[in-house]
């Protein structure tokens, strides 16, 4: 197993096209972020959507219009080049997927970075619990629920959740551990009965892949960072850029900085 | 003892000039908020300052430029009239204190509402602990520390903390209770040794009033909503409006909605 690079080193590799693809499992210990970029005219409503729905949309940083440097997340960070794959949406439709957005940059674009479940998964693993999607090498299973987000301007939609199964004692511990990380989704929003939150078939997730649930285990559901993407699809802004799934911004911020003590 | 009005009723009384002064102790169970209003040109940096310093500056809601209605905090809320006393600052200097800001309203103003310690104090009281500033009928003592906030654009400064004393077992409980409320300052930032965070004389607070600390008690320090006011004084925006101390926006949001489960 090779040593993982530092966040700065990984960002440099991504910027130079030497690292492509996902960032999961890399730079353990450091916060990774979901990305949304919107025109200024849409920024205030999206900010309010995030503040009103902090569990699925935990806002970590935002930029001034036109600003692509984010020194608070890493001195060298340039959001136009430091993510390995970007998705470009026009009027809500995916129109492009690319590894560099410098040629698309505009002075009216505002950057939003949102917390990601990697941080609390790492904390759960660190306490010796089994995180099923990791031990089975799959993308975490995610489901659209019947839980309405608080709307804000054009942004609304159902909450998307991710699921990790645990036996009873481990479920309590996983809940307590993730509750200490409110800036990266926090404690589960539901556990036990998928049907109560509108999930018909736990073995058939809407995104990601199903994982094994053993007979002594119950499913725990966490608010998921796909929620803002669903709200964006519905709001259909004229122009929007996000990261491609799994290709996050790797920051210099330690996960431990995000833990409530 | 008279029955407390509903938040909607209290806001109506404030709007009509029938309730003046502080809101502490009123509308128990409901979230009260600190207010900051800034011109659009200053809004992105202030948003980032809040996101980078979530313990002293927990951002609960924000508005579009020019928008004075905040239906997510209460259907009828008009931020120009629903606070009993406003402070107006020009170039960092307090120039006016008034009960209505309709005549000062501008299309470029952005509203920020931040969490307040009343919410976690209520939760601590509800579990039977003594909150000294309440039992002694004083303003909570607050101190400037030597802890630097994360800067964002023109905003920077030292963190201001509030102090409440507890004996050892109660200190643990107060910590655990407040940790469940990350959107209203969360767990203490320090306990035990005031000198380690730059507080020279615990009996001589920089704001508020000193409270009794018994010999079996230790002081617990929470990040305080005065911190953004200090950052604003230093940044000196050309125009800024805040609430007057203790005169908060009373919302329709239940404190229990802000508790991490």
User: Tell me, what's the pLDDT at A3?
Assistant: 63
Statement: residue B258 has pLDDT above 90:
no
- Which has more pLDDT, A243 or A3? A243
Statement: residue B2 has pLDDT above 60:
no
CB contact under 8 A, B63 and A54: no
Q: Percent of chain A, pLDDT > 70?
A: 98
User: Tell me, what's the pLDDT at B261?
Assistant: 60
User: Tell me, what's the pLDDT at B1?
Assistant: 40
Q: Which of A153-162, A179-188, B201-210 has the lowest mean pLDDT?
A: A179-188
- Which has more pLDDT, B44 or B258? B44
Average pLDDT over residues A79-102: 95
For A67, which DSSP code?
-
Closest CA relative to residue B132, chosen from B122, B120, B143, B140? B140
Contact status, residue A241 vs residue A16, Cβ threshold 8 Å: no
Token digits of residue B78:
């008009």
Report the chain B residue with the minimal C-alpha distance to residue A43.
B64
The minimum CA-CA distance between B190 and chain A, rounded to whole Å, is 10
Q: Kindly list the residues from chain A whose CB atom is less than 8 angstroms away from the CB atom of residue B77.
A: none
Contact status, residue B154 vs residue B204, Cβ threshold 8 Å: no
CB contact under 8 A, A47 and B62: yes
Partner residue opposite A260 with nearest CB, options B47, B61, B182: B182
Contact status, residue B58 vs residue B183, Cβ threshold 8 Å: yes
Count CB-CB contacts under 10 A for residue A261: 11
The minimum CA-CA distance between A259 and chain B, rounded to whole Å, is 10
User: Tell me, what's the pLDDT at B3?
Assistant: 63
Closest CA relative to residue A250, chosen from A10, A35, A17, A2? A10
pLDDT digits (tens, 9 = 90+) for A169-188: 999 999 999 988 888 888 99
Domains of chain A, first to last: 7-117+229-258 (3.40.1640.10), 118-227 (3.30.2040.10)
Closest CA relative to residue A132, chosen from A172, A184, A179, A171? A171
pLDDT digits (tens, 9 = 90+) for B100-112: 999 999 999 999 9
CB contact under 8 A, B54 and A183: yes
Report the chain B residue with the minimal C-alpha distance to residue A66.
B44
DSSP secondary structure, A110-158, as one string: EEEEEE-THHHHHHHHHTT---HHHHTT-PPPEEEEEEEPPPBTTB--E
pLDDT band at A1; cut points 50, 70, 90: very low
Q: Percent of chain B, pLDDT > 70?
A: 98
Statement: residue A162 has pLDDT above 90:
yes
pLDDT digits (tens, 9 = 90+) for B167-201: 999 999 999 999 888 888 889 999 989 999 999 99
Statement: residue A224 has pLDDT above 50:
yes
Mean pLDDT of chain A: 93
Partner residue opposite B64 with nearest CB, options A44, A110, A186: A44
Most confident of A16-30, A87-101, B176-190: A87-101
pLDDT band at A261; cut points 50, 70, 90: low
């Amino acid at each position: 197993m090779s040593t993982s690079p530092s966040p700065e080193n990984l960002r440099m590799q991504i910027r130079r096209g030497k690292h492509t693809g996902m960032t999961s499992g890399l730079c353990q210990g450091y916060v990774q972020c979901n990305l949304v970029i919107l025109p200024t005219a849409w920024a205030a409503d999206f900010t309010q959507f995030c503040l009103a729905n902090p569990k699925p949309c935990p806002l970590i940083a935002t930029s001034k219009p036109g600003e692509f440097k984010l020194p608070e997340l890493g001195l060298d960070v340039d959001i136009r080049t430091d993510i390995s794959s970007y998705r470009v949406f026009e009027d809500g439709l995916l129109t492009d997927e690319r590894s560099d957005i410098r040629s698309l940059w505009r002075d009216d674009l505002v950057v939003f970075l949102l917390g990601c479940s990697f941080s609390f998964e790492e904390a759960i693993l660190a306490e010796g619990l089994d995180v099923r999607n990791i031990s089975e090498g799959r993308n975490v299973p995610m489901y659209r629920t019947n839980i309405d987000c608080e709307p804000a301007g054009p942004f609304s939609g159902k909450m998307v959740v991710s699921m990790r199964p645990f036996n009873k004692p481990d479920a309590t511990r996983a809940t307590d551990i993730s509750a200490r990380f409110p800036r990266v989704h926090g404690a589960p929003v539901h556990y036990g009965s998928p049907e109560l939150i509108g999930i018909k078939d736990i073995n058939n997730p809407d995104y990601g892949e199903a994982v094994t649930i053993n007979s002594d285990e119950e499913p725990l559901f966490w608010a998921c960072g796909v929620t803002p993407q669903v709200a964006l699809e519905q709001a259909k802004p004229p122009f929007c850029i996000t990261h491609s799934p799994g290709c996050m911004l790797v920051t210099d911020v330690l996960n431990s900085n995000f833990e409530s003590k």
